[in-house]
Amino acid sequence: MNALLALMFRLSGWKISGKVPDLKKFVVAVAPHTSWWDFLIGIMARSAMGITNARYLGKKELFDGPFGWFFRWMGGVGVDRSSSHDVVSQVVAEINKHESFILGIAPEGTRKKVEKLKTGFYYIAKGAGIPILPVGFDFPTKRIVIGELLYPSGNIEADMDILIHFYRKIRGKIPELGL
């Protein structure tokens, strides 16, 4: 399946700009998240880069329906966003159980227009003591743009400013829904 997805990525004309770090654990924060196409591009790019241990968080409703098995098989973990379940602590504990764990998250938490990023991904990285890798899917240029690692400093405002500066240059599938 990975070989087929990698081939689909190459045939679709997408390219990768930047390099994935040679680390065993980090959070991949992918934005802007404006379309369901982001999932497909992300899964194909993951295969094209040979990343086999990446997981992602998604709304639990994706995993409850008839295609739940598919989303779990593709590395997904369902998250209940309807109330506080201390998801950050649960994800940090899960990361800490493994020698290698790459977690992909859309920091907007939705495909709808948002004015700011949610902070769960930041606190997951900080709690697990791992860096954040900002990544953007730039649809007009068909490029996966990989940024520089950000180690959470604890100054969330300054760190978010760095991330938002990176994402503002990226144009999603539906640009008007981007940051």
Q: What is the pLDDT of residues 136-163, one digit of tens each?
A: 999 999 999 999 999 999 999 999 999 9
Task: Name residues whose C-beta falls within 8 Å of residue 65's C-beta, 6 or more positions apart in sequence.
Answer: none
Query: What is residue 60's predicted lDDT score, i.e. its pLDDT?
Result: 80
Distance CA 167, CA 135 (A): 8
* Residue % of the chain over a pLDDT of 90: 45
Helix pair angle (120-128, 156-167), 10° resolution:
120
Number of domain units in the chain: 1
Give the sign of the dihedral formed by CA 2, CA 112, CA 82, CA 128: positive
Which pLDDT value is given to residue 167? 93
Domain assignment of residue 4, yes or no: no
81: pLDDT confidence band, cut at 50, 70 and 90?
low
Query: Does 175 map to a domain?
Result: no
Query: From the CA atom positions of the chain, what is the Rg in Å?
Result: 15
Average pLDDT, the chain: 88
Q: Which domain holds residue 140?
A: 13-32+53-170
Within-domain flag for 97:
yes
Q: Which long-range contacts (CB under 8 A, 24 or more apart) does 152-156 make?
A: 152/122, 152/125, 152/126, 154/126, 156/119, 156/122
pLDDT at 84: 64
